[in-house]
Amino acid sequence: MTAGASPRPVGSAFLIGYAVAYIGAFIGVAPLLQVLAPLHAGLIDGEAKGPLLSQALFWGCMAAGGGNIIGGALSDRTRSRHGRRRPWIVVGAALTVCSYAFIQRSSTPLGLIGGLICFQLAFNVLLAPLIALFADRVPENRRSAMSAIMGMGYPVAAMIGSVVMAWGPQEEVARFATLAVVVLAATVPFALLSREDPVPPDQVRAPLSGFSLPSLLRPFATPDFSLAWTYRFLVVTGYSLVAFYLLFYIADAIGFSNRFPGRSAEAGHSILTAIAVVGVVGVSSIVAMGGSRITRRKPLAVAGGVLLAVAATTLATTQDWTTVVVAFAVYGVGQGCYGAIDIALMTDVLPSEVDRGKDLGLINLAVTLPQAIAPLIALVLLESLGLDFRSLFLAAAVCFGGATLAVSAIRRVR
């Protein structure tokens, strides 16, 4: 594409393939972090599974932050006949599958920590260019609909993964193999069969150009970018506190197996995630069908933050399973409101077309850093203060409330 030329038209095949690749990629991560990693931590050290999981998640997510920025920046600067984003999607998918073997074979705390570091580096090499394709290829009039579909990605992936973990293969090797097949089947065909526009001549740069701290931090000089980043950071911190420790909450704080003899905590986990996904899919479907007619993103963002805060507070203060189920239904609607506008809102506040991959990688720090910070919060609340898993849900409610205030202050987004 030469300067001033029109981008390649985006057809339904690309949009469907992109949605499948995006959701499939998250099926490879959600059950790993929510089910397999907690269970594996329990196998390694059943007495200290909570602290071990927190340490492994922390170091893994610290690695993810750097990997996302570097992966996005490298894809910005990649020049090949196969495009700049697609080669990195294939590489990231292959490395993600390899990291599963590392985690599954780990038998010590250090091994689990190393495995999750490798996984997060690999997965973010896949994720960064995949998200950059949204800004590259999806036109403005389709962003609301595609953002809504992508907003279903993690919740749907969590539900599918949880159901597979609870009712599918029970051997750990088979579970990891299932995730590997899903990741490869969803992402590699899309990367091989889709097309990219050539890089405009005025955007061609040397591979290592522009890698400096001032260049990295420059987007934060834009107030709306900073507010959007803070909004995403706080929402995902709340998400992480709920998601990472939901299995332990169900097992220990609610006592699911005692209430329902013969049913495992994994079964309770699959029930709650499925209930939440109903709300996510409901809201996202409405937004997706509305398409270009939905131009106001801020009201959905505010509503999502309020609903998430209410649901998390309820979960922190109840011991009744029926109330937990109702709260998770509300939680799902809140997730749907947030997810339906998240990627479109983040794309709206990007300050530069030239550095889309790098800036989206920076925005994605607001996803990876919370996954590192949430375990630290858990360590303080569980170990230092001696509180139970309910305290993590109250901390999540505080995060959701702060996120609501941040998104309300963004000016560029209506």
What pLDDT is stored for residue 5 in this prediction?
43
What pLDDT is stored for residue 3 in this prediction?
40
What pLDDT is stored for residue 6 in this prediction?
45
- Containing domain of residue 341, as a range? 12-196+218-408
Q: At what angle do helices 356-379 and 321-348 cross, to 10 degrees?
A: 150
What pLDDT is stored for residue 95 in this prediction?
94
Tens of pLDDT, residues 156-177 = 777 777 777 777 778 889 889 9
Number of domains the chain is built from: 1
Tens of pLDDT, residues 368-409 = 788 778 888 988 888 878 788 889 999 999 999 999 999 988
Distant-in-sequence, close-in-space partners of 287: CB < 8 Å, separation ≥ 6 = 144, 145, 147, 148, 151, 294, 300, 340, 341
Does the residue 6 lie in any domain? Answer: no
Does the residue 83 lie in any domain? Answer: yes
212: left (phi over 0), alpha (psi -120 to 50) or beta: beta
Distant-in-sequence, close-in-space partners of 255: CB < 8 Å, separation ≥ 6 = none
**Mean pLDDT score of the chain:** 82
Does the residue 147 lie in any domain? Answer: yes
Does the residue 247 lie in any domain? Answer: yes
Burial of 96 (0-12, 13-18, 19+ CB in 10 A): buried
Distance CA 387, CA 181 (A): 39
With vertex at residue 379, the alpha carbon angle to CA 375 and CA 381, rounded to the nearest 5 degrees, is 115
Distance CA 369, CA 37 (A): 18
Does the residue 204 lie in any domain? Answer: no
Distance CA 28, CA 44 (A): 22
Are the beta carbons of 160 and 271 closer than 8 angstroms? Answer: no
CATH number, domain at 336? Answer: 1.20.1250.20
Distance CA 236, CA 368 (A): 9
Distance CA 146, CA 141 (A): 10
Are the beta carbons of 90 and 74 closer than 8 angstroms? Answer: no
What pTM value is reported for the model?
A: 0.70
Q: Which parts of the chain have pLDDT scores under 70?
A: 1-10, 140-141, 197-216, 256-258, 262, 291-295, 352-357, 413-414
Dihedral (CA of 353, 357, 358, 359) sign: positive
What pLDDT is stored for residue 413 in this prediction?
65
The string of DSSP codes covering 104-120 is: HH--SHHHHHHHHHHHH
What pLDDT is stored for residue 4 in this prediction?
42
What pLDDT is stored for residue 257 in this prediction?
66
Does the residue 393 lie in any domain? Answer: yes
Does the residue 210 lie in any domain? Answer: no
Does the residue 5 lie in any domain? Answer: no
Distance CA 133, CA 63 (A): 23
